[in-house]
């Protein structure tokens, strides 16, 4: 019989509906339906995590691929992801995971947290990365693995969009040793238009990670005409300077057309101009990717 894990961070509503309080989307989920991320499902008035125990992508990557430039450099990280995402980015570069969900056959499989930690150790990886899709949607699984990983002397790495509620973040974030937060754009209008989401919770998450002392790097996928305006970027650099500090490593990556977005790929010159601006602003750790 399929084993489903009870989710955390939800409340009961009338008529066996529930409200998920894991991310700011606060999905109201009727009986037998799932939330926006497609991996949290209401069964008989209780919310279950379909993704708990069901990684669909496992690999060993260089830590620089997360990307993290200033954390355990030169090491390999045991990486895993599931289906599902709580944002709706029309330019998603990984929609085969983020926009998919589990079939009945998938749900018959289960990998307990202990097994993943053992696998990471067998492959001599000093860290485990929660990555590929959005780890917020499988936060319960991340927390359980991360606690065991720490007990085994391994580090935890979160690669996230930062779109999470305070209560789960307060449980998840202190278990992390390093994180790369994906800063999709620098304005509410970008998050509305391109991601069906909001900017403020992401900024809040960045500040929370910083205040916890978790190693923090930030990545932006640069999309021509959407988030490559240098004036807007200047304001973003001011924000990082004021709230996180100029030492924060910043990654800017080239986008390529994917999912529902047909804007042509990012020219290298755009990335070079962004790097020049950030360096002029006094940011010493600026990295370009996908060029």
Nearer to ligand SF4, 88 or 267 (CB): 88
Give the one residue of 125, 137, 218, 271 binding ligand SF4; rule: CB under 6 A.
137
Smallest gap, in angstroms, from Cβ of residue 7 to ligand SF4? 8
Residue 260: strand, helix, or coil = coil
Per-residue mark of binding to ligand SF4, 11-30 (x: CB under 6 A): ---------x-xx-xxx---
Establish if 66 lies at the interface with ligand SF4 (CB under 6 A): no
Residue-level length of the chain: 291
Closest by CA to 48, choosing from 33, 26, 70, is 33
**Interatomic CA distance for residues 82 and 131, integer angstroms:** 9
Helix (H) or strand (E) holding 57: strand 57-62
Which residue in this structure is represented by tokens 């601006």?
A: 277
Per-residue mark of binding to ligand SF4, 177-216 (x: CB under 6 A): ----------------------------------------
Smallest gap, in angstroms, from Cβ of residue 65 to ligand SF4? 26
**Interatomic CA distance for residues 123 and 79, integer angstroms:** 12
Question: DSSP code of 192?
Answer: I
**Interatomic CA distance for residues 50 and 71, integer angstroms:** 31
Smallest gap, in angstroms, from Cβ of residue 23 to ligand SF4? 3
Establish if 133 lies at the interface with ligand SF4 (CB under 6 A): no
Establish if 131 lies at the interface with ligand SF4 (CB under 6 A): no
Instruction: Report residue 79 as tokens.
Output: 């990486």
Number of residues that bind ligand SF4 (CB under 6 A): 12
Smallest gap, in angstroms, from Cβ of residue 13 to ligand SF4? 13
Smallest gap, in angstroms, from Cβ of residue 28 to ligand SF4? 9
- The interface region with ligand SF4, picked from 31-39, 56-64, 74-82, 222-230 by CB under 6 A, is 31-39
Residue 62: strand, helix, or coil = strand
Query: How far apart, in Å, are the Cα atoms of 137 and each of 40, 49, 58?
Result: 8, 8, 17
**Interatomic CA distance for residues 146 and 168, integer angstroms:** 14
Smallest gap, in angstroms, from Cβ of residue 173 to ligand SF4? 16
Give the one residue of 77, 86, 180, 266 binding ligand SF4; rule: CB under 6 A.
86
Establish if 63 lies at the interface with ligand SF4 (CB under 6 A): no
Closest by CA to 120, choosing from 165, 152, 88, is 152
Residue 69 · residue 50 · CB < 8 Å: no
Nearer to ligand SF4, 37 or 149 (CB): 37
Instruction: Report residue 52 as tokens.
Output: 């708990």
Contact residues toward ligand SF4 (CB under 6 A) are 20, 22-23, 25-27, 35-37, 40, 86, 137
């Amino acid at each position: 019989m399929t084993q489903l894990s009870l989710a955390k961070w939800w409340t009961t509503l009338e008529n066996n509906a529930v409200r998920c309080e894991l991310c700011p989307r606060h999905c109201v989920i009727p009986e037998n339906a799932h939330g926006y991320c497609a991996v949290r499902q209401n069964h008989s008035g209780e919310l279950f995590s379909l993704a708990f125990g069901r990684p669909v992508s496992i690999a060993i990557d260089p830590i620089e691929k997360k990307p993290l430039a200033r954390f355990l450099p030169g090491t390999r990280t045991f990486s895993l992801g599931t289906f599902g995402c709580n944002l709706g980015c029309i330019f998603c570069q990984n929609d085969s995971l983020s926009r998919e969900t589990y079939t009945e056959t998938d749900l018959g499989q289960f990998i307990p947290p202990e097994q993943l930690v053992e696998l990471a150790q067998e492959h001599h990886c000093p860290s485990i990365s929660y990555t590929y899709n959005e780890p917020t949607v499988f936060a319960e699984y991340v927390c359980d693995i991360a606690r065991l990983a720490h007990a085994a002397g391994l580090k935890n790495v979160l690669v996230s969009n930062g779109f999470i509620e305070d209560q789960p973040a307060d449980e998840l974030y202190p278990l992390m040793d390093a994180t790369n937060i994906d800063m999709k754009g620098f304005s509410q209008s970008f998050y509305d238009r391109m991601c069906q989401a909001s900017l403020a919770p992401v900024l809040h998450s960045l500040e929370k990670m910083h205040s916890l002392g978790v190693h923090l790097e930030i990545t932006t996928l640069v999309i021509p005409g959407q988030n490559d305006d240098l004036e807007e970027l200047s304001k973003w650099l001011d924000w990082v300077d004021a709230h996180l500090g100029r030492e924060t490593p910043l990654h800017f990556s080239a986008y390529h057309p994917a999912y529902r977005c047909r804007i042509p790929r990012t020219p290298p010159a755009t990335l070079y101009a962004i790097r020049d601006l950030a360096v002029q602003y006094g940011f010493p750790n600026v990295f370009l990717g996908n060029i």
